[in-house]
Amino acid sequence: MKNAHKFYIGGEWVDPERLRELHVIDPSTEQSIGTIAIGSTADAERAIKAARAAFPIFSQTTKAERRALLERVLMILKRRQHEIGDIISREMGAPLAMARADQAGLGAAHFEETIRAFDAFDFEYLQGSTRIVHEPIGVVSMITPWNWPINQIACKVAPALATGCTMVLKPSEIAPFNALVFAEVMHEAGVPKGVFNLVQGDGPTVGAALAGHPDVDMVSFTGSTRAGIAVAQAAAPTVKRVHQELGGKSPNILLRSADLGSAVAAGLRRCFANSGQSCNAPTRMLVPAERMDEASAIAARAAASLTVGPPHDPGTDLGPVASAAQFANIQALIEKGIAEGAELVAGGPGRPSNLNAGYYVRPTVFACVKNSMTIAREEIFGPVLSIIGYDTEADAVAIANDTPYGLAAYIQGDPQEARTLARRLRTGIVRLNQSAWDSAAPFGGYKQSGNGREYGKFGLQEFTEIKGIVGHAD
């Protein structure tokens, strides 16, 4: 792919300090689809230097200038949406139609929502005689994951541009090619030199350099809680802002008032979307204990109805998971669920019988799961659902909150019951009755699911410092 062995620094495609290549693997075939250059600490420092040099001028641009820039990026993203979707499908395995509409489409959606929020955002206002000013925080390091790559790039880059920040992006080396296209979009849109920079690389080298560098004012990281801890530790000595969106083990509470058939089937589909590789996937389904057998039978039928296969096949519901390491981890956790006594009602270890290559996982459902089991505690990040019984509403809340995570929760049932219950859940977002995705709703978590919020006006706030000019109106 064009520019695969270059980095985008200071408005130009440049060679790395020293070329080290990494093969990018198509998870549906386990074969290489190309190589990228892997950066070094020196490459990261060069990009940070470019971003730092660009900040004094870009931070002083007008709101109108930045809005026009956002509009140009949005226009080009829409034009190249299918191309980006095709690339994402190949590098991380999402079914092609889903990759084009959802994976790539969410990039444009975030720019659209950022523009709406930007138009309504008060960067300055008087509070008595004090002028309150929201100013760009500075140089931002962005470290993004492979599971929703353009989504996570866009929901960081859009508010950073809108607020006048400059940035260095390190995308995941597992799904890196879409980020190269994104850099081309930024270049074509006329983003000023040094405002946006891209360095490919791994976490321990480039990621650590971006997190710890004293000329970086903020790190925005999306990924595992384990990696998030390492990022926070690297950033701590320079006391920079650390924004993190980390793991999850989201509960899906099916109230007794819910239609069990539709709620179980819909909950399973949402859990298994993107082959279960979503941090906010509803992986713990909580059902009334007396209806465990009925719920598990519905879930087993729903899992059996899903087609696992190559991403380019029109009938595919679930593609492969993204990497060999991910496949191995999921298999180990499925085996752990069986060993700890959970009831396997669908799927299980190994690939589907009709597939002998690729990182394909059988859609797997465990019933009669205890919340103390490993499969109910650890983020599996694959198409694996755990069904847990509860006795009372208070019991359901206690089980839902009994987790180190707190990213998302789901409730199905009577709307008033669901609204009341939502306030008792320790999560950053609660979705009621299969509600649609809201690009303006705050996204982020409690506890070990991270800190800070993304999307819309909440994303804009994350990338600003607040200054009070006292006596401004005197």
Indicate which residues carry an active-site annotation. 245, 279
At 106, list the tokens.
Answer: 């969410």
Any residues with CB less than 8 A from the CB of 401 and at least 6 apart, and which? 424, 425, 426
DSSP three-state, residue 342: coil
Task: Compute the distance between CA of residue 100 and CA of residue 78 in angstroms, rounded to an integer.
Answer: 11
The amino acid occupying position 422 is A
Residue of 339, 363, 367, 344 lying closest to 352 (CA atoms): 363
The amino acid occupying position 239 is V
Could you identify the residue written with the tokens 């480039």? 206
Question: What DSSP letter does each residue of 372-426 carry, written as one string?
Answer: TSHHHHS---SSEEEEEEESSHHHHHHHHH-SS--SEEEEES-HHHHHHHHTTS-
Question: What DSSP letter does each residue of 135-170 carry, written as one string?
Answer: EE--EEEEE--SSSHHHHHHHHHHHHHHHT-EEEEE
Contact 149/172 with Cβ under 8 angstroms? yes
Residue of 392, 399, 307 lying closest to 355 (CA atoms): 307
Residue of 415, 408, 411 lying closest to 445 (CA atoms): 408
Contact 228/246 with Cβ under 8 angstroms? yes
Cα separations (Å) of 299 from 86, 177, 261, 302, 348?
A: 31, 36, 9, 5, 14
Calculate the CA dihedral of residues 123, 125, 130, 134 and round it to 10 degrees.
-10
Residue of 189, 171, 188 lying closest to 180 (CA atoms): 171
Q: What is the DSSP letter of 354?
A: T
Task: Compute the distance between CA of residue 461 and CA of residue 443 in angstroms, rounded to an integer.
Answer: 13
Cα separations (Å) of 216 from 111, 138, 451?
A: 24, 7, 18
Task: Compute the distance between CA of residue 169 and CA of residue 144 in angstroms, rounded to an integer.
Answer: 8
% helix / strand / coil in the chain, to the nearest 5? 45, 20, 35
Contact 287/369 with Cβ under 8 angstroms? no
